[in-house]
A and B are shown apart, each in its own frame.
Chain A
């Protein structure tokens, strides 16, 4: 089975304190560390496990530049067979639709039976997988937490409310967005990363992909981020004073306001 996994290099929220910069135009990026989007890691692990079982190749793809190429190397260290970097200045400032447009072109250049994405990213909107599927006219399932291969069909579980699992049969080729917890991603050590450090990774841009530059990048974007801001959160706890009765009355009001009490 030929599997394409779309991955993304993101600021790591587990290891960063995200702060807004002075003029609110961006987050403070000086002290940021980046890592593979957590959900994408599960997607790549799942792809590798599927290929271990039924044979095939895993290709990882990202839209970015030479710096974000690191995400491909990490996933290749994990066991993905090929990497593909979609890089062009024309891609800068793309919204979700723009990214999906670029990926669609890349998918059509290859022969993939299955396309996986992470269900979401910390700086994203859980949108690219569904858009890509619609552009390709492939069936789609989001929040997938189980995949069983059955010939040309997959049996997939989706994580739905209440921790229940919705099972579907889905025909290939298809696009699935992968939820965390579907597997236990393997560890990628420093050694593994160094082993693939010098592997040549092919690049494609607007011309080689045959994309209309007006459909992608800032020009093509219909959704733009205007600024960042921090919602009001006071410093330290506001201590509630008074008798228990008074405190509880205040607390109940607060809980109602914050969605803790319906």
Chain B
């Protein structure tokens, strides 16, 4: 009986004991990796603070769900499944890879806990894992090279295609899988030649196939393959490790942290600077993000973590209609700049002095193009944030006076009159004048009431949207609510003021509204404007509970205070358009649907993009004033989506959605074929 193959720990190469390489490769690899990571940490240390160590149990929950269980991956089925296979394979094979490194030094090493049955079972598992990973790499490469999904494309203005890097990495992963299998298969093949008992190889696995392929080969050759494949694996493994922080595959390392530290709150934007109270904002030297280091460390970690999968931009309505914004490239450009300013090589080169981001890395129009709809954040599989970055960049621009003229006008009007149109305060309640006598609205400046109806600017002043106010008041009144309005004391809720970066103006609106609301002594706030709902609920403090009118309606339907007549075969097919600030920002998906469905015999269909994949209508508040470059309007696309779903009535629950969609119906030339209506108007139509 011949002896088995000489293991790498005992082999020689031209007389040199290869164990030297077994020591050298890991030592050099780990040293280089440590150096790179230390450099990558530098900008994080210099960046703005960010409080991400609170609510640890919730964060661990996010890691388990979003990182470990890859919860968001299957939203793109093929890519998602491929990724889950590679990810799971990596997790399984990490133990094997670690063991292998030590086996090069000590041939009999077994990972503690992996002796006996568990070890055998693990071996079967990792053999299949390696096989699956190799297949997944093949599929991924095929997609990259042949299928070329559109979301991977790099528009010319953003530089060259990223396909090469993707293929290199797929090649490295495949090399790891094949070399590991050859290492083991060569040993088993030699044992088989010698008639020794061999390790059982699971059928159809990569290593099993390798063994069959290697069987006809001589023992000498097997010996060479055995040692060579070991060192190929060893070198590839450490090269891969050091290559990861050079590009988009950094996410292999950072995604765990990125998910752990990801934003937990919804519906709010970050404070100007973590650790500074609103009252102390005046003391800050500078506002917002102007230079790279003004981003928080989590935001720079976001740049590192972006896997370039393109899901954000694929869902971004601004990107879809041809505005100059692609969230994916907010991250990629941020990453490239960080790498450029904090170079790895040559050693000792000083960090670059940071320059203004606007005009160099990002463009003004790019940053103003975002409607803050949150579709990108909803989609990102590793919890990258965009809205906070965009808002911070806008804060920086506002601080420098870089604001398009089209936005300066409404901002000034908001400062002076509390509404973006500059309409007079005393006319804020004029919409109530056309209501029938039996609908009583209290003026909370004089009377007290249980509920406050917060109207907000557009519903107060826009001729068309005033109908939403009237419908809301009618519902509140018929459902027996004891309610009133603030009248001229009400100011714009400020949701968009804040998101357009004019933080101090937002603070003024917030203070004035808060004081006015608290003085009324109401027990509950009800609003039909999701933007007001969002900001009152998530960004004001010390207010009574806030309810959206759709919640009020379903509550009152259940309690029997609202009774609805049937649709009586009106021949209409309704579809509900989820407003971003109800849905994605506040998880309010069911109440509006339940309210519509409470109309007996109503026919309602869902658009393909609904709920958390709802497509923004074009944006509200100050976005109505901004003049983006775009090829088409978001609203028009949305109307087309509704038509595709077979609907002829779009029901919204937001005045801005109604403005945009009603306009879009006309622009799309679908008047008479499609109509838009607010939920409140629909309910009033069917009130018994």
Contacts and interface: CB of A to CB of B under 8 A. Distances in A.
B502 A189 contact: yes
A190 B415 contact: yes
B401 interface: yes
B416 A12 contact: yes
Interface stretch (A113-121, A180-188, A235-243): A180-188
Contacts of B412: 15, 35
> For chain A, what secondary structure do more than half of its interface residues adopt (helix, strand, loop), or is it mixed?
loop
B31 interface: no
Contacts of B504: 189-191, 194
A135 B339 CA distance: 62
Interface stretch (B65-73, B236-244, B402-410): B402-410
A12 B424 CA distance: 12
Contact of B399 (A12, A14, A189): A189
A188 B401 contact: yes
Q: Which of B287, B402, B405, B415 has the most CB of A within 10 A?
A: B415
Contacts of A31: 424-426
B398 interface: yes
> For chain B, what secondary structure do more than half of its interface residues adopt (helix, strand, loop), or is it mixed?
helix
B411 interface: yes
A17 interface: yes
A194 B402 CA distance: 18
Interface in A72-122: 78-79
Interface residues of B, number: 28
A187 B424 contact: no
A35 B281 CA distance: 25
Contacts of B411: 187
Contacts of A188: 401
A194 B417 CA distance: 19
Contact of A78 (B401, B426, B503): B401
B422 A191 contact: no
A251 interface: no
Contacts of A220: none
Given A15-B416, A31-B424, A190 B403 contact: no
B282 A191 contact: yes
A191 B272 CA distance: 13
Interface in B347-400: 398-400
A167 interface: no
Interface string A1-35: 00000000000101111000000000000010101
A192 interface: yes
B168 interface: no
Contacts of A12: 416, 422
Contacts of B416: 12, 15, 33, 35
Contacts of B102: none
Interface in B126-177: none
Interface in B421-438: 422, 424-426
B505 interface: yes
B506 to A, nearest CB: 9
A187 B417 contact: no
Contacts of A186: 400-403
Interface residues of A, number: 20
A187 B398 CA distance: 7
Interface in A24-82: 31, 33, 35, 78-79
Contacts of B502: 189-190
Nearest to A186: B401
Contact of A190 (B407, B409, B425, B505): B505
Contacts of A35: 412, 416
Contacts of A185: 405, 408
B287 A191 contact: yes
A186 B504 CA distance: 17
Contacts of B508: 190
Interface in B246-303: 281-282, 287
B81 interface: no
Contacts of A191: 281-282, 287, 399, 503-504
A79 B504 CA distance: 19
Interface string B479-514: 000000000000000000000001111001000000
A79 B400 CA distance: 10
B422 A189 contact: no
A187 B287 contact: no
A52 to B, nearest CB: 12
A187 B409 contact: no
A165 to B, nearest CB: 20
A134 B302 CA distance: 63
Nearest to B419: A15
A205 to B, nearest CB: 30
Contact of B402 (A14, A187, A192): A187
Contact of A33 (B282, B398, B417, B505): B417
Nearest to A31: B424
B413 interface: yes
Contacts of B399: 189, 191-192
Nearest to B286: A191
Contacts of B398: 187, 189
Contacts of B400: 186
Contacts of A14: 409, 413, 422
Contact of B401 (A16, A17, A33, A187): A187
Given A15-B417, A35-B416, A194-B282, A187 B422 contact: no
A78 B504 CA distance: 16
B16 to A, nearest CB: 68
Contacts of B415: 190
B424 to A, nearest CB: 6
Nearest to A30: B426
Contacts of A78: 401
Given A31-B425, A189-B398, A189-B504, A184 B413 contact: no
A35 to B, nearest CB: 7
Contacts of A189: 398-399, 401, 502, 504-505
A165 B365 CA distance: 30
A190 B415 CA distance: 8
A15 B401 CA distance: 21
Contacts of A15: 412-413, 416-417, 422
Contacts of B282: 191, 194
A192 B417 CA distance: 19
Contacts of A33: 416-417
Given A12-B416, A78-B401, A17 B505 contact: no
Interface in B74-115: none
A11 B173 CA distance: 70
Contacts of A17: 424
A188 B416 CA distance: 13
Contacts of B401: 78-79, 186-189, 192
Interface in A184-211: 184-192, 194
Contacts of B503: 191
Contact of B403 (A16, A79, A187): A187
Contacts of B409: 14
A139 B491 CA distance: 48
Contacts of A184: 405
Interface string A166-187: 0000000000000000001111
Contacts of B424: 16-17, 31
Nearest to A17: B424
Contacts of A192: 399, 401
A208 to B, nearest CB: 33
Contacts of A190: 415, 502, 504-505, 508
4 cross-chain pairs, A with B, having the tightest CB-CB distances, nearest first: A186-B401, A15-B422, A187-B403, A190-B504
15 contacts: A15-B416, A15-B422, A31-B424, A33-B417, A79-B401, A184-B405, A185-B408, A187-B403, A187-B408, A188-B401, A189-B398, A189-B502, A189-B505, A192-B399, A194-B282
Given A192-B399, A194-B282, 9 more contacts: A31-B424, A31-B425, A31-B426, A186-B402, A188-B401, A190-B502, A191-B282, A191-B399, A191-B504
Interface of B: 281-282, 287, 398-403, 405, 407-409, 411-413, 415-417, 422, 424-426, 502-505, 508
